[in-house]
Amino acid sequence: MSWQQSPHIRTFKLFALVVAICLASFYFISSVLIPVIISFTLYALFQPAVYYLVRHNVNHSLSILIVLVLLVITSGVMIAFALPALIEQVSLLQAKLPQIARQLEQLLTFYGAKLSERIGTDIDVSEVTLSILSKTSSLGQAALINVSNGLVSFVIVFILVPFLTYYLLKDFKNARNEMMNWLPNSSFELGWLIYYNVSTRLQAYTHGVMLQSLIMATFCSIGFLAIGLDIPILMGAIAGLFNLVPYIGPVISIVLSLLVGAAMTPFDADILYLSVAVIVSAQIFDNLVVIPSVVANSVNLHPVQAILGIIIFGSLFGTVGIILAVPAIVSGKIVFNNIYADMANASLKATP
């Protein structure tokens, strides 16, 4: 077998073509990417419920409407109760940012002086920390203002997403079948195999991480409330949200909880230790209970693969890339492995 006919080379070429098509598709829908991601997530979550109703002799369109109406009503009730408190806690955090920056500066200066005494060298951290903290504070306030101003956009997306989700639940299978018919006969079976493996894995992953994030948000909110941390519900929700980002998310949650704890008046160092304990306890519970029972079989990635993927995707696509990194890598592995298996099998058959 020549180098040009190697299954590895042909697999790489075909895989590169698939990646190029996916990137081009994301580029063309970049302006509506967030609603599309949300709609496909809801499609993955509620497709089983629609199928359940259809199996019990409910009309398909009516089944979709029932599921989406229940979703809108439930979400509306939750938002009506939670959104005012969330806005209040975001405003409180925004007001606390200068105090957080000052408290952090004092802590860094204090420990910098201690370090200077130990190593016998003057370390003036005040100028560096002042510059960093002033920029961090201004960036944080700007980010929170953008979050507050973006609530209107969020409500608009919240209104539009159910319509897109409805059409996905109603017509996605037909659109998928038409696209599969574009494949040449030699690749038709492979295309369906890849689609089945990817869709099954992503649906399991979506169900798992949504439930995982909800459990983590509830766990951390109760923990922060119990230890007396300011804005516990918001901090718990942030911890649950960042838990969608493996390995890096919990570290960010710890840093944020420490900053909020450091800004409390009067200052209590025990709050800092207890805040870390809440996040660490949540992660222990997540790894020992939630992941084995909820997300166990949906992702099979080495930690190094996941971290590198998050860094690369985050650099290229920002926040959306960070969230999509793990499912994209999982999908890529499935596609590559299936293509290679098909190419290797074809090579064996062609070998006299």
H helices of the chain, in order, are 7-28, 33-55, 60-119, 126-149, 151-180, 185-227, 232-242, 248-262, 269-285, 303-350
Q: How deeply is 124 buried, as exposed, middle or buried, from its count of CB atoms within 10 A (0-12, 13-18, 19+)?
A: exposed
Q: Would you kindly state where each structural domain of the chain is located, as residue ranges?
A: 3-350
What does each of the 352 residues of the chain score in pLDDT, given as a tens digit?
444 467 788 888 888 888 888 888 887 877 777 788 888 888 888 888 998 999 998 998 899 989 888 887 887 777 677 667 666 766 766 676 676 666 666 766 776 677 667 776 655 555 555 555 454 445 454 444 554 455 555 666 667 787 888 888 888 888 888 888 888 888 888 889 999 988 888 888 888 888 888 899 999 999 999 998 887 888 888 888 888 777 778 888 888 888 788 777 777 778 888 999 999 999 899 888 887 776 655 666 677 777 788 788 878 777 778 778 888 888 888 899 898 888 888 777 666 5
Q: What is the dihedral of CA 315, 316, 322, 325, to 10 degrees?
A: -120
CA atoms within 13 A on the CB side of 344: 8
Residue-wise over 259-275: b if at least 16 C-beta within 10 A, else e?
bbbbbbeeeeeebbebb
The DSSP secondary-structure symbol of 296 reads T
Instruction: Tell me, rounded to whole angstroms, the distance of Cα 4 from its chain centroid.
Output: 39
Name the average pLDDT for the chain: 78
Instruction: Give CA–CA dist 33/234, Å, rounded.
Output: 26
Asked whether the beta carbons of 37 and 168 are under 8 A apart, the reply is no
The model's pLDDT over 148-204, given as tens digits with 9 standing for 90+, comes to 455 555 666 667 787 888 888 888 888 888 888 888 888 888 889 999 988 888 888
